[in-house]
Amino acid sequence: MKSIDLMIQVNKSILEEKRRDLALVINEEEVIENKINKLEIELKREQLYSKRNLEIKLYLESFAREVRRKTKLLNNDLSKLRLILEKLREQVSRAYVELRKFEITKENQQKKEIIESERLERIELDEISINMHRRKGKGF
């Protein structure tokens, strides 16, 4: 039982480590998505502003080009990150399945121990009953 408890502990640690790694990458994904959204909002704001100010309109095209370039780089980073996320989710899933195997094994082992304990207790109680019955029969 101690070895199963140890394996459960080790696998819990592995699972928690994988979950922490996953959370960090999810956080990175959110940061990149926020940067992309911020760039899009900035571009829309500049487009609106350029409609009111002709001098700004001259710079809008180069600004829009730079926003598209940055957005493209961020989307590339996001794509790579999502591949990593997919792998990390698979690792978390496998770590969870591995942990559950040991937990189920422990549960089954505990059930067997309870059944065996109950069986031994029944045998002992049956023996006591038989002895009491014998004593009554002998007149004690």
Question: What is the per-residue pLDDT across 81-95, written as a single tens digit (0 to 9) for each?
Answer: 999 999 999 999 999
Return d(Cα 131, Cα 37) in angstroms, integer. Answer: 84
Question: What is the per-residue pLDDT across 49-82, written as a single tens digit (0 to 9) for each?
Answer: 888 877 777 788 889 999 999 999 999 999 999 9
Terminal Cα distance for the chain, rounded: 46
Domain limits, the chain: 2-100
**Percent with pLDDT over 90 in the chain:** 75
DSSP 40-99: HHHHHHHHHHHHH-HHHHHHHHHHHHHHHHHHHHHHHHHHHHHHHHHHHHHHHHHHHHHH
Split at pLDDT 50, 70, 90, the class of 140 is low
Is residue 1's pLDDT more than 80? Answer: no
What number is the average pLDDT over the span 100-120? Answer: 95
pTM for the structure as a whole: 0.74
